[in-house]
Structures are given as structure tokens and as C-alpha cells.
Amino acid sequence: MVEPIRMTTRADRKKFIVEAGYNTFLLRSEDVYIDLLTDSGTNAMSDRQWAGMMLGDEAYAGSRNFYKLWETVTQYYGYKYLVPTHQGRGAEHILSQIMIHPGDLVPGNMYFTTTRLHQELAGGTFVDVIIDEAHDPANLHPFKGNVDLAKLERVIRESGPRKVPYVCIAGTVNMAGGQPQSMENMRAVSELCHREGISVVLDATRAIENCYFIQQCEPGYESKKIAEILKEYCSYTDTCTMSAKKDALVNIGGWLATNQQGLFEEARNLVVVFEGLHTYGGLAGRDMEAMARGIVESVQDDHIRARIGQVEYLGNHLLDWGIPIVRPVGGHAVFLDAKGFYPHIPQSQYPAQSLACSIYLDSGVRTMERGAVSAGRDAKTGQEHFPELELVRITLPRRVYTQAHMDVVAESVLEVYENREKARGLRMTYEPKYLRFFQARFEPVK
């Protein structure tokens, strides 16, 4: 399917971004030229997936597409039990409500926005145990998504293992710049946690992209297939939450999968309250069919090489021009280092938010802030978080844009970089209570 895109003038875009309160989430899609806001649900489905959409069994209970999805998840990810959800945060909600008790700590390799909020709403506190290298955009560590085992051990020692319901591991790590975790590190995390009687929960949203980096960079995995690496990676974990809108190449869908029968039974019960019956979890039968087919396509080595190759292509372009980005280039996006880009704008004036707006104004390319605005406030003190990483994410949907589009994007970033001294910071004029980055409004600082 081909979708027309519309060019706009700079005067149009100025009007649109003011109307949107200087927040790219509040722009209308029609007013965007190349949409690199997210890789979530923005993938192009294949002919086989579309054909599968015609085979939806829309029975309220026991849809055949559900059983097919279950078998496919078990075949490729290895988990015994499956509970479908409408998207990733549906699974995070259910998992958090079941496993977290007030006062618990949930260690993880850097926070993700919705994941942390669900942990907090259940009374838990997220503790970051990622390696220090992850917080430095210029550090070239090949596995910046790794857990610092000493940090993790310290959390478990100090609180006692009973206060840690599970450790949450994301592969790749979105907020760190799409950075992977090594198999060796996952194995070590698993050994440590299981010795202490703590479960390991994988955020499998981009686990296949993580496996590509293992194949490329970790000794012993060069000649293994992605599907084989994925199976091993998941085998070190007990449970996963999944936003299928990324790796699995669909526009909507997710799941909670587990090897733990007790958790499965509780999740299957709770999903009925929040999402829908346990054989559809808020999805249509056809969506589950498209997801099952998407999984099969997502583990093909050629697919994943082309997908991450495109991200690398854009990243290398920007690096050649000396533009500050997070290195190594990650799996799903190129992340601009807004502190390096706009050193004259203090973090309290949201340089990354301002940079995302400058890029939109220049070319109509839509990106997103991943810095202080996304980080929000401390749940207890109400103080704003100011993370080390103040980034703009240029996120690539799968199978949508061509390398020529990437050239347009790179040229626009260069143009904005060359005019960087003129940029100004922003002031927040409206701040929603939850996940503020989605709906906050801003105006330029005078």
C-alpha cells in the first residue's frame, strides 16, 4: 500500500506547531511530511498479514486466531502461557497489579515511561540498575543496555529479596538510545535473580532487535539465526510483557506471556476486568492473526538486517557530518544529543523539546523528545527528573520509508544544526498529571 504525504510551507508549520503547543505529539498527522515520531504501530503490514486479516474469527470466546497466536508466541519466544492485551501497557498494568505490593522495589535497565508509571501506580518504586556507560551518549560500549550486577545485588541486599517482586529487563533499551543487552549479561542477571528467588520479566517489545546486536557483536553468536538467539534470550526469563506494535510488525496488539502457572491464572482473570476476555484481550480476532503472522516475519534474518541497516544508514550520515548523536547507533532510532546540540539551553528549558520543534519547523519531519519532559517528576517528592540523557528520537517505522526519505531527514537535521545558535528554550504552560510528554504544552522562552 502506498500512502500520499503532504508538503507544507514553513509558514504553515509555524502555525501548526504553535497550535500544538510546541509538542510534536499534538500535531495532526496530516500536517507532517515524514513521520518519525515513533516505530510503534506505524509499521507497514505485509501481504500475508493483510490476507490474515480476512481470516479473523471474531467469536467472543475461543477465537481460532487466539490459539494460533498462543502457539506462535510459544514457538518463537518459548513461554508456555499467553494472555493477549490491546498493547504493551495493558500487559504492564496487569503484571504490576498482580506482582507489585506497596513498598516494593522494581530494578530495571533504565526506566520506560509507561512501565515505570504502572509500577508506581501499584505502589512500587523503580530502581535504575543499568551500567553507567548507558548514561553517556558518547561511550562506545557495544551493550549499553547491560545491567550492572553490583548495583542489582546492592538493591537486593539492602531491601531484602522479598521486597523485589521481579527484575524488569528491556532489550533493547528505548530510553538509552535503543541500546542492546548482551546474552552473557542476561544469563548473569537470571542466575543472580533465580538464586534469590526473584523472577525475571522481559520487556520483549524490541527483543528481536536486541538479538540482532547479539548476533553482530557477541562472540559465539555470529552464525546463529535470530530465531535461535531469541529463544535462548527469553529462556533466561520467566515472563514477558510485549508491545507487538514494534517488533511484531502490527498496528495494534500486545501480550503477557509466562512460564509461571500461578501468574498466568491471575493474569487471565484480571485481563477480563481491564481489557477483554482472555481469548481476545481487547483485540479483534483479525488483529491476533496479523500479530501471529508478524512474529514469523519479524525473526527473519534478512528482515531484521534491513530494518536496523536503515537506522545505521541514517546514523552514519549524521556522524559523518559531526552531528552529536548517541553512539553506537541503536536499533529502532537515531537519538540526537540535545545537550551537545544546544549547549546554550539549560535542561530546565527542555532543549530536546525545542530541538524536535526546530526540526519540524525546518522540514515537516516529526520526531519526539526523550529527555526531561519524558522523565517527568519523582512520584514521591514531585521534583522534576533531569536525566543525563536529553535526547530527540528520530524513530524509524518498519518497512515504511526509503533511504531517500532518510537523506531528506539527515539534510534537515544538518540545516537545524547549522542554525543551532539561534535556538531558544521552552517553558511548560500546561502539565498533565500522568505521562506529561504526551499532552504538555509549551511556549518559547522570551
For ligand F0G, which is the closer residue by CB, 38 or 125? 38
- Of the candidate residues 190, 210, 243, 279, the single one contacting ligand F0G (CB under 6 A): 243
| Residue of 31, 104, 128, 203 marked catalytic | 203
For ligand F0G, which is the closer residue by CB, 109 or 358? 109
CA 375 remoteness from chain centre: 14
| Binding mask of the shown chain, residues 166 to 185, with x at each position contacting ligand F0G by CB under 6 A | ----x---x-----------
Name the 3-class secondary structure at 110.
coil
Segment holding 395, helix H or strand E? strand 391-395
Name the 3-class secondary structure at 30.
helix
Rounded distance between C-alpha atoms, residue 34 and residue 5, angstroms: 7
The nearest distance, CB 145 to ligand F0G, in angstroms, is: 11
- The three three-digit cell numbers of residue 167, written as one number: 527484575
Show Cβ contacts of residue 355 under 8 Å, excluding neighbours closer than 6 positions.
Answer: 336, 338, 341, 342, 369, 392, 416, 423
- Of the candidate residues 88, 324, 331, 351, the single one contacting ligand F0G (CB under 6 A): 88
Q: Measured between alpha carbons, how far is residue 4 from residues 10, 41, 314, 359, 360 in Å? A: 20, 18, 22, 21, 18
| Binding mask of the shown chain, residues 180 to 219, with x at each position contacting ligand F0G by CB under 6 A | -----------------------x-x--------------
DSSP code of 260? -
38 binds ligand F0G (CB under 6 A): yes
Tell which phi-psi region holds residue 32, choosing left (phi > 0), alpha (psi between -120 and 50) or beta: beta
Contact between residue 391 and residue 342 where contact means Cβ atoms under 8 Å apart? no
Examine the residue annotation and report whether 437 is marked as an active-site residue of this protein: yes
For ligand F0G, which is the closer residue by CB, 57 or 287? 287
What are the residues facing 428 on neighbouring strands?
A: 442
For ligand F0G, which is the closer residue by CB, 243 or 279? 243
Query: How many helical (H) and strand (E) elements, i.e. helices and strands, does the chain have?
Result: 16, 14
Contact between residue 294 and residue 249 where contact means Cβ atoms under 8 Å apart? yes
Rounded distance between C-alpha atoms, residue 280 and residue 283, angstroms: 5
Q: How many residues interact with ligand F0G (rule CB under 6 A)?
A: 15
For ligand F0G, which is the closer residue by CB, 165 or 425? 165
For ligand F0G, which is the closer residue by CB, 118 or 303? 118
| Residue of 370, 393, 398, 436 marked catalytic | 370
282 binds ligand F0G (CB under 6 A): no
128 binds ligand F0G (CB under 6 A): no
- The three three-digit cell numbers of residue 184, written as one number: 552473557
Examine the residue annotation and report whether 113 is marked as an active-site residue of this protein: yes
Rounded distance between C-alpha atoms, residue 207 and residue 203, angstroms: 8
Span interacting with ligand F0G, options 23-31, 44-52, 57-65, 109-117, rule CB under 6 A:
109-117
- Of the candidate residues 49, 72, 115, 412, the single one contacting ligand F0G (CB under 6 A): 115
130 binds ligand F0G (CB under 6 A): no
Name the 3-class secondary structure at 125.
strand
Span interacting with ligand F0G, options 44-52, 86-94, 218-226, 309-317, rule CB under 6 A:
86-94
| Residue of 112, 126, 221, 280 marked catalytic | 112
Examine the residue annotation and report whether 399 is marked as an active-site residue of this protein: no
| Residue of 246, 339, 398, 436 marked catalytic | 246
Q: Which residues bind ligand F0G (CB under 6 A)?
A: 38, 40, 87-89, 112, 114-115, 170, 174, 203, 205, 243, 245, 254
Q: Which residues are catalytic?
A: 60, 112-113, 203, 246, 370, 437
